[in-house]
Amino acid sequence: MKTLSTAVLMALVVSSAGAFAGTTQPAPVEVDLDLMFAHGDMESARWAKGDDLIGCGIRTFDNGAGGVVNIGFCQAQDGDGDSAICTTDRMDLLETMYALNDDSYIRFSWDMDGNCTVLGFSTQSLYHNKDNPSFINKKN
The pTM of the whole model exceeds 0.85: no
Q: Is the confidence at residue 8, as pLDDT, over 70?
A: no
Q: Are strands 116-123 and 104-110 parallel, antiparallel or unpaired?
A: antiparallel
**Beta-strand (E) ranges in the chain?**
30-32, 37-41, 53-62, 68-77, 83-88, 104-110, 116-123
Q: Are 129 and 47 in contact (CB under 8 A)?
A: yes
**Using CA atoms, how far apart are residues 128 and 134, in angstroms rounded to an integer?**
10
Burial status of residue 46 (CB atoms within 10 A of its CB: 0-12, 13-18, 19 or more): middle
Q: What confidence tens digit (pLDDT) does each residue in 82-131 have?
A: 999 999 999 999 999 999 988 789 999 999 999 999 999 988 766 665 55
Helix (H, G, I), strand (E, B) or coil at 69: strand
Phi and psi for 15 in degrees, rounded to 5? -70, -35
DSSP 126: G
Q: Which of 44, 50, 57, 48 is nearest to 108 (CA)?
A: 57
Domain ranges in the chain?
A: 26-139
Is residue 26 very low, low, confident or very high in pLDDT (cuts 50, 70, 90)?
confident
Q: Any bridge partners for residue 34, and if so which?
A: none
